[in-house]
Amino acid sequence: MADFLPISLPSRCVTYKNENGDPVNLNDVKARSYQGSDEIYITQINPINLEKNYLEVLKSILLGVDPLQLTLGDRMYLILWEYVNSYSRTMRLKTVCAHCLSDIQVTVDLGNLENVKLPEGYKEPYKVKLPVSGEKINLRLLTVEDEVEVEKYSRKHRKTSMLYRYARTIVDEVDVIDRVDRLSKMAAKDLMKIMSFQDEFFHGPEMKTTFTCPVEDCGEEDILDIPFRLDFFFPDISEL
Ligand SMILES: [Zn+2]
């Protein structure tokens, strides 16, 4: 069995609680690389069951924090950490040079991406004033639990699943379905304010890399976005 190693989650664990309701200490959180028992779930991941299946994997590979509480930034960090520690540090991506228009291949060092940390002193719930109504509401970051619930919800209510996702980020005493109704009647700018809260506190790996075009006489330098792909979970072995 692979050893559990210390990891440095970009949220700094500031929103996590242990079973006793006490804050989680970043130094107590560890992860191990994938093993055969994880691959049972990983190889069956598809866009419909990703959240549910990957939650099962997180339960086995993570120590010191309840995976349902993980922020999405921390989960992305873990997905890349697993890729680097279980498969390969580098990933090959295809792109087109914007200067000479040649098809080129870029090798990304996934172990060397910049990791944005959640700001020191970040606390939840976070009070936000809506620009149109002037109301103040309490918000929190999306978690793995939210994504698992959104995946379930969207099977029955496809149309409103986007609103349901952000309704879950509001912290109040109102039932979540009533919050969906509230969001559906809200001014678009107020809703955008709620949605953009997640970007405002973006943390985790910066999914972009710089590269130099290898074509002779070109040498153009550019930035390439690294797309989220299912082969982050199970890469083609011939590509490694
Ligand atoms: Zn070029």
Q: Is 78 exposed, middle or buried (0-12, 13-18, 19+ CB in 10 A)?
A: buried
169 vs 167: CA distance, rounded Å: 5
The Å distance, Cα 227 to ligand 1 centre, comes to 21
- 3-state secondary structure (DSSP) of residue 214: coil
Model pLDDT for residues 11-65, shown as the tens digit of each residue = 999 999 999 999 999 999 999 999 999 999 999 999 999 999 999 999 999 999 9
SS3 sequence of 87-151: HCCEEEEEEECCCCCCEEEEEEEHHHCCEECCCCCCCCCEEEECCCCCCEEEECCCEHHHHHHHH
Nearest-angstrom CA–CA distance, 86 and 39: 11
Average of per-residue pLDDT across 78-90: 96
Report the C-alpha gap between 226 and 29 in whole angstroms: 27
Q: Is 239 left (phi over 0), alpha (psi -120 to 50) or beta?
A: alpha
- Please give the distance, rounded to the nearest whole angstrom, from the Cα atom of residue 220 to the centre of ligand 1: 5
pLDDT in tens, 97-131: 999 999 999 999 999 999 999 998 999 999 999 99
237 CA from centroid of ligand 1 (Å)? 28
Token couple for 161: 């699943």
Going by C-alpha positions, the residue among 60, 75, 65, 71 that lies closest to residue 19 is 65
- Distance (angstroms) between ligand 1 centre and the Cα of 152 equals 45
Mean pLDDT of the chain: 95
Q: From the centroid of its chain, how far is CA 69?
A: 12
What are the phi and psi torsion angles at 217 (to 5°)? 70, 5
Quick: pLDDT tens for 54-77.
Answer: 999 999 999 999 999 999 999 999
Query: What is the helix (H) or strand (E) element at residue 212, kind and residue range?
Result: strand 208-212
The pocket of ion ligand 1, defined by CB under 5 A, consists of 97, 99-100, 213, 215, 218, 220
DSSP β-bridge partners for residue 212 = 221
Q: What are phi and psi of 182, to 5 degrees?
A: -60, -45
